[in-house]
């Protein structure tokens, strides 16, 4: 049977960009930018995207396209002897766990779409918005209903296949998203006092930048591009062999970044124009912004459009998360797409329940000191995700080899790719090192390591570094000699 796949250039770009553009761009990026002092943080973020994000995205794309398989099957096809396919299983597990709570947050957004469209949200007094939001997410039944709705919509699209589902709906939803975004941007920058917000966003103040901010930028670059969980890999397997992968990855990366910046341009000028707090954190879109809309002429209309925008961005991401799991189950367990999708969506709903309840009746139930939502988020985002990314780099850099990857990037020499050396160095060394640092930091181990290094005497440290360099040089020359001896 012929494998399903994307049928047009625009379709595959819309699908991949749809995955990358999500709550991370419109919800998280603006608020972490706000917390880390604005423009300086954005500059660092751009470097992370270009230097680490883009090369890993290309690697995932070519792994999928070369093998024409799902996340686990892909590793198996290239290296069948060793258990590298477990990396694929890890990726699928990560996508599954993330989707279980991503759908819940998307459900909050759905609830806000309904409430703003019916005019209820706009009627809430600004000082009541905090408790209004708190009441919704802690109520149990309502967030469950909306999580179910998100999963059902996603499943209906995924069930129709890649070309007739994922691609078809991405092609409709992404232009709609851009249209709404542009409209809201115009509204926001024409408010009186908007320039302060733009200044905040685009005038760098490096004194506000901290090491923590830099690491957060790096981690977010990873998340925002949907890397490390087999998504781009799976979508890559639906891309035709004659498509230019470098160009595609570049387009997705640019689209993701531009949309995140546009979301910033929607949010900050409005927040500043009404004298509100830019560093509110996660509650920025649910509590701060409704207060902005409440003051604005025709606020209810803009409010509804804004939450619709976030809802669309979230659904094109949930589609990609579900597709990773569905592709894995249909191909590895020989199940029909319909059966697999229904089964997976149902399992996801069950898994979302503990997260939902941790904002209400189960808020006191903790494992390792975390409620269920925090626990799932921590396991998936802080442990599985960096590990998945690290394994992809090691696999492409050292097992499959960057030569093979570059051959696939150029479609076997059809396209020119001038950055082979840079790409190889990044995938083999820079990206793995960066990921290890993100990982150590998110586990809270980095500061401990730095402190213990600081406490060691410089003499000792110096000699350790020299010894390490000598050892590596010796190992490399030994390996080269062995190669020559073995012909
Ligand atoms: N990249 C998406 C965003 O920015 C998040 C996401 C992560 C989507 C992982 C799918 C998978 O919101």
Per-residue model confidence as pLDDT tens digits over 5-20: 999 999 999 999 999 9
Ligand 1, from 45, 71, 224: best to mutate by most atoms within 8 Å of Cβ?
A: 224
Which amino acid residue places its CA nearest to atom 9 of ligand 1? 226
- Contacts of range 109-112, beta carbons closer than 8 Å, 24 or more positions apart: 109/23, 109/307, 109/310, 109/311, 109/314, 110/146, 110/149, 110/150, 110/311, 111/136, 111/142, 111/143, 111/146, 112/286, 112/307
Instruction: Note the pLDDT of residue 487.
Output: 59
pLDDT greater than 80 at residue 229: yes
Q: 197 CB under 6 A from ligand 1?
A: no
C-alpha–C-alpha distance, residues 444 and 92, integer Å? 26
Instruction: Note the pLDDT of residue 349.
Output: 98
Instruction: Note the pLDDT of residue 31.
Output: 81
Q: Which atom of ligand 1 is nearest to the CA of 314?
A: 12
pLDDT tens-digit readout, 33-58: 888 888 899 999 999 999 999 999 99
Q: Average of pLDDT values for 365-379?
A: 90
C-alpha count within 13 angstroms, C-beta hemisphere, residue 295: 16
pLDDT greater than 80 at residue 486: no
pLDDT greater than 90 at residue 353: yes
Cβ–Cβ < 8 Å for 166, 319? yes
Instruction: Note the pLDDT of residue 266.
Output: 92
C-alpha–C-alpha distance, residues 71 and 16, integer Å? 15
Report CA(148)–ligand 1 centroid distance (Å). 19
Instruction: Note the pLDDT of residue 355.
Output: 94
Q: How confident is the model at residue 477 (pLDDT cuts 50, 70, 90)?
A: confident
> What predicted TM-score, i.e. pTM, was given to this entire model?
0.90
Q: 317 CB under 6 A from ligand 1?
A: yes
Instruction: Note the pLDDT of residue 156.
Output: 98
pLDDT greater than 80 at residue 279: no
Q: How confident is the model at residue 207 (pLDDT cuts 50, 70, 90)?
A: confident
Ligand 1, from 16, 17, 20: best to mutate by most atoms within 8 Å of Cβ?
A: 20
Q: What are phi and psi of 370, to 5 degrees?
A: -125, 145
Please name every residue paired with 370 in a beta bridge, in sequence order, or none if there are none: 367
Q: How confident is the model at residue 1 (pLDDT cuts 50, 70, 90)?
A: low
Query: What is the residue-averaged pLDDT of the chain?
Result: 92
Q: 224 CB under 6 A from ligand 1?
A: yes
Q: What are phi and psi of 375, to 5 degrees?
A: -65, -50
Q: What is the percent of the chain where pLDDT is above 90?
A: 72
C-alpha–C-alpha distance, residues 409 and 254, integer Å? 18
Q: How confident is the model at residue 84 (pLDDT cuts 50, 70, 90)?
A: very high
C-alpha–C-alpha distance, residues 209 and 213, integer Å? 6
pLDDT greater than 90 at residue 112: yes
Report CA(19)–ligand 1 centroid distance (Å). 6
pLDDT tens-digit readout, 389-443: 999 999 999 999 999 999 999 999 999 999 999 999 999 999 999 999 988 988 8
Q: 25 CB under 6 A from ligand 1?
A: yes
Cβ–Cβ < 8 Å for 396, 63? yes
Q: 19 CB under 6 A from ligand 1?
A: yes
């Amino acid at each position: 049977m012929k494998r399903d796949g994307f049928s047009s250039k625009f379709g595959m770009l819309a699908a991949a960009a749809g995955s990358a553009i999500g709550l991370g761009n419109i919800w998280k990026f603006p608020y972490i930018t706000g917390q880390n002092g604005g423009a300086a943080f954005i500059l660092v973020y751009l470097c992370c995207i270009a230097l680490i994000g883009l090369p890993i995205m290309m690697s995932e794309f070519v792994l999928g396209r070369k093998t024409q398989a799902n996340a686990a099957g892909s590793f198996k096809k290239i290296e069948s002897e060793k258990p590298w396919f477990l990396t694929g299983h890890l990726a699928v597990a990560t996508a599954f766990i993330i989707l279980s709570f991503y759908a819940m947050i998307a459900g909050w957004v759905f609830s806000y779409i309904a409430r703003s469209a019916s005019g209820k949200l706009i009627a809430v007094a600004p000082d009541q918005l905090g408790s209004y939001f708190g009441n919704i997410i802690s109520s149990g039944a309502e967030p469950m209903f909306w999580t179910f709705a998100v999963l059902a919509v996603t499943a209906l699209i995924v069930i129709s296949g890649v070309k007739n589902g994922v691609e078809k709906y991405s092609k409709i939803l992404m232009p709609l998203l851009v249209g709404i975004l542009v409209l809201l941007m115009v509204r926001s920058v024409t408010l009186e006092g908007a320039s302060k917000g733009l200044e905040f966003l685009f005038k760098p103040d490096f004194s506000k930048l901290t090491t923590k901010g830099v690491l957060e930028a790096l981690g977010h670059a990873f998340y925002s591009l949907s890397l490390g969980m087999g998504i781009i890999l799976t979508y890559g397997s639906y891309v035709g062999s004659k498509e230019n992968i470098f160009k595609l990855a570049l387009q997705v990366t640019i689209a993701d970044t531009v949309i995140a910046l546009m979301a910033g341009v929607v949010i900050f000028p409005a927040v500043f124009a009404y004298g509100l707090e830019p560093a509110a954190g996660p509650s920025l879109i649910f509590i701060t912004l409704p207060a902005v809309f409440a003051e604005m002429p025709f606020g209810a209309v803009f409010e509804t459009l804004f939450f619709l925008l976030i809802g669309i961005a979230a659904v094109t991401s949930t589609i990609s998360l579900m597709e990773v799991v569905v592709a894995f189950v249909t191909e590895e367990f020989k199940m029909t797409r319909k059966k697999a999708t229904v089964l997976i969506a149902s399992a996801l709903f069950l898994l979302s329940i503990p997260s939902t309840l941790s904002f209400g009746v189960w808020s006191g139930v903790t494992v390792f000191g975390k409620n269920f939502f925090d626990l799932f988020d921590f396991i998936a985002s802080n442990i599985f995700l960096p590990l998945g990314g690290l394994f992809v780099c090691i696999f492409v850099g050292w097992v499959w080899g960057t030569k093979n990857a570059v051959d696939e990037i150029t479609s076997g020499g059809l396209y020119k790719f001038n950055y082979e050396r840079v790409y190889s160095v990044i995938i083999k060394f820079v990206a793995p090192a960066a990921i290890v640092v993100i990982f150590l930091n998110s586990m809270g181990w980095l500061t401990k390591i730095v402190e213990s290094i600081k406490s060691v005497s410089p003499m000792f440290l110096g000699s350790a570094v020299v010894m390490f360099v000598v050892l590596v040089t010796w190992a490399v020359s030994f390996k080269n000699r062995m190669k020559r001896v073995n012909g």
